[in-house]
Structure formats: C-alpha cells, structure tokens
Amino acid sequence: MQPVKKRFIILDALRGFALLGICLANYPEFSLYSFLSAEDAASLQTPGLDRVLRYLLYFFVDGKFYTIFSVLFGIGFSIILEHALSEGGKGLKVFYRRMLVLLVIGLIHLWLLWSGDILTLYAVLGMLLPLWHHCSDKALLRWAAAFLLLPVAVDTVVELAHLRPAGWFYDRQWALCARFGITEENFAYWLRDSHDYRGVFQFLMQGGFERMTEFIDGNRYFRVMGLFLLGYWAGRQRFFADLEAWRPRLRRIALRGFALGLPLSLAYAWSGVNGHPWGLTAHSALYTFSVFPMGFAYMAGLCLLYQRHNTARIWRAFAAPGRMALSHYLFQTVSGMLLFYGIGLGLGARLSLSYALLIALGVYLLGMLLSRLWIGHFRFGPVEWVWRMLTYGQYLPIRRDQR
C-alpha cells in the first residue's frame, strides 16, 4: 500500500484556515490569560478591550474552527480508509498503524508539551471509523447527527441528577497539584515561574488529567465522532473534486448555517462570558445549534469563494500550512512554550488578551511563511514525513528533487 498522493487545494486551504482559528482560540491559554482571576486580568494593559475581544472569541471563534478541523480530519481519514479497504486486510493494517503512530504523537504532545492536545482523541476515534464502513450515506448522516445531538441529552441528565462524570479525573488532577505544590493561587503563574522543564512537566502531569475532565464534561468524544462521521460522508461524496456541481448545496449550507448560527452565537457568547447563567443544558444546546452551523457555514462559504476566485494567491497561502497541518499545529505549541513559559521568554500572565491575540496572529503568519518555504523544497512537513515513514515502515524521500 502506497501513500495517497492526489491533493486538492481547497482542502489544504480550509485546513490552513482552521489552523488560524485554532491558534487564536489556544493562545489565550498558552499566554496563561485564561487562568487569571478576573481581578488579575483587569489589572493588565487593555481590560476594556479584552472584555470585548473575549465576547468576540466566543462569537466567531470558539468551537467553530475545531469543527472545521475535525470535519477535515474525517475527510482525510475517509480517503485513507477507503484506499486501505480497497487493498483488503493489508491496507486496513496500515490504516491502524497510521492511527497508532498518531496516537503516540498525541500522547507525547499531551504529556510532554501541552495539555490542550486534541491529537490523542483524534487517533482513538479515528480507529473506530471502519465500524461505519458498510453504512449507507443516509445512515452516516443519521449517526453523525445523533452524536452531535447526544451531548445535549447527556448534559440534561447530568444537570438534573447532579452527576460528576469526570469526578475521578478531577480529583486525581488536584491530588497531583497538592503533591507538586500547585494551588489555585499560583496555578496561573506556575508555568511562567518554572525556569526548568521539571516544573513544566509537573504542570503537564496534572494538565493531562484536566484534559480528560474537559473531554468528559464537554462530551468532546461524542462531538468529534459526529464531526468525523460527517467528514467521512463528505469524503465519500468527494464534493471537493467538483465544487461547481455542489454549488447549490454549498449555498444552502452557508445561508442556513449563518441564519441559525449568527443569532444563537450571540446568546452562546453571552452565556460563555457570564459563566453559563442559564444552566448547563441551555449552554450545551446553544453550543450545538450555534457552533456547528457556523462552522459548516464557514466551510461552505470558503468553498464558494474558492469556486469563484480559485486563482487568488490567498488560497495557496492558506494551503501551505494546511499541507503540513500536523507540523504547523506542533509549531504553535512550541512557539507558545518559548514565548510564555519560564523556560522561554516568560511572558505568560503578563499580557492582556489583546496582546496575546496579536502574538497568536504573528505566530500563525510566521508559521505560514515557514510552511511556504518548506513546501517549496520538500514533499511533506517534517512531522508528516516521520509519521508516513513509521506508518509504511520504509524510508520515503522528502526532498522534491529525490526519487
């Protein structure tokens, strides 16, 4: 089984666009701003502007770009899986090996670099996709809808019954914090004040359990599985290979997605900024019916723009980081560590949200430039290259002038 070689610029560009939103969403946490108390945050450079930006992040960014990224992962997995299944049992083994390598990369990222990792969950859920191989297109859409809606039902039960689904992970997290001396008072400053990797690793250990708490309490596995199945369906349809034929459906997705998502995002942002005053169930429902429609509308709208203006340079600019998305994603992590943690420049918990977002934009643009330079000389991103070689168990030429 050989790597799937054909690429579509629109998929790479969408992936690159999603990476921009992910950077904007993650850097408030990298900068440690998200961990600050309201009083400490208010003492920073631009508190008034930060309140507006925080609302706008919930409105335009939160969940929307991870929705795009997850659907695109589902599309990518569907292409790889269909190719693997066409080659029988041997191809399926290669698919699972690919997922296992991604799982190892995700675990290294989670426990050694950043607790906000998503790759581990992607790898585990990606291994489940073959279970839906024999489903019809309609069945895939029904399963996707069920997984996307299920968190609302789960959160209703949790709220009414006063359950703690992630209680064990939460308790384990704070047991580790007590062991290392991490408290609520120094939590926001621990990484900034850690001038060696030992302190960073201690924070990452408790952070791994915190991430499991987030996955469980946020029903993230249901949501990502639903988005993967939607991507699996989209990959089967190969809409990206004939955008002109899909234009009417893309217009409907964009119009309906914005019509539903924009007004509900106003309420969702207000709920998020104010600590879910309407309760867990209401916040979960607002997330489902604002975030997903907006994410789908972003994708459809960009596909329509690309269909009209596919020669514009902006698409190739976004496609460069999209072609090496895994490397770019990890580049964002390493940059955040070096900028904000004590083992680097130690800027964490010193900058307002507005400055953190400007830095995020700068990191993304630098990564975009480096990606364009890299792709000009190499076939794969550096991490993608290692991932492929470990998957196929052989050396693969990386330079474009190699055979």
The pLDDT value recorded for residue 184 is: 95
CA distance 209 to 199: 16
DSSP conformational letter for 111: I
Question: Is the Cα dihedral 77, 79, 80, 83 positive or negative?
Answer: positive
Check residues 133 and 257 and name the one with the higher pLDDT.
257
pLDDT surpasses 70 at 89: no
The pLDDT value recorded for residue 1 is: 42
The pLDDT value recorded for residue 83 is: 78
pLDDT band at 5 (very low <50, low <70, confident <90, very high): low
The pLDDT value recorded for residue 360 is: 98
The pLDDT value recorded for residue 288 is: 98
CA distance 116 to 332: 12
Q: Where are the alpha helices (DSSP H) in 130-181?
A: 137-161, 167-180
Question: Is the Cα dihedral 171, 172, 177, 178 positive or negative?
Answer: positive
Q: Rounded to an integer, what is the distance from CA 77 to the centroid of its chain?
A: 15
Question: DSSP E strands: which ranges in 24-88?
Answer: none
pLDDT tens digits, one per residue of 250-289 = 999 999 999 999 999 999 999 999 999 999 999 999 999 9
Give the range among 87-101, 275-289, 364-378 with minimum mean pLDDT: 87-101
The arithmetic mean of pLDDT across residues 84-101, rounded, is 84
The per-residue pLDDT of the chain, averaged, comes to 95
pLDDT tens digits, one per residue of 345-370 = 999 999 999 999 999 999 999 999 99
CA distance 300 to 302: 5
CA distance 28 to 32: 6
CA distance 388 to 396: 8
Total-model pTM: 0.94
pLDDT band at 401 (very low <50, low <70, confident <90, very high): confident
The arithmetic mean of pLDDT across residues 96-108, rounded, is 96
Secondary structure (3-state) at 383: helix
Q: What percent of the chain has pLDDT over 90?
A: 91
DSSP conformational letter for 398: -
pLDDT band at 99 (very low <50, low <70, confident <90, very high): very high
Q: What percent of the chain has pLDDT over 70?
A: 98
pLDDT tens digits, one per residue of 44-71 = 999 999 999 999 999 999 999 999 999 9
The pLDDT value recorded for residue 6 is: 60
The pLDDT value recorded for residue 3 is: 46
> Within the chain, how many helices (H) and strands (E) appear?
17, 0
The residue behind tokens 């800027």 is: 347
pLDDT band at 290 (very low <50, low <70, confident <90, very high): very high
Q: Hey, what's the torsion of the CAs at 29, 207, 77, 251, to 10 degrees?
A: -30
Q: Rounded to an integer, what is the distance from CA 123 to the centroid of its chain?
A: 13
Domain ranges, ordered by start, for the chain = 9-392
pLDDT surpasses 90 at 301: yes
